[in-house]
Amino acid sequence: MRLVLDKDQIVSFALIGDLDNSIEVDDSIVPDDFMENFKPNYYLYDNNIISINTNYKEPELVVPDVKPSESQKMLMSLSQNVVTLQSMIMAQNQQIAQLMTKEAK
| HEC secondary structure over 69-101 | CHHHHHHHHHHHHHHHHHHHHHHHHHHHHHHHH
φ and ψ at 32, to 5 degrees? Answer: -60, -35
pLDDT at residue 105 greater than cutoff 70: no
Residue 38 near residue 58, CB atoms below 8 Å: no
φ and ψ at 6, to 5 degrees? Answer: -120, 100
Q: How far is CA 92 from CA 11, 31, 48, in A?
A: 66, 76, 81
Residue 93: predicted pLDDT: 94
Can you give the pTM of this predicted structure? 0.57
Residue 49: predicted pLDDT: 96
Residue 54: predicted pLDDT: 95
What is the arithmetic mean of pLDDT over 80-97? Answer: 95
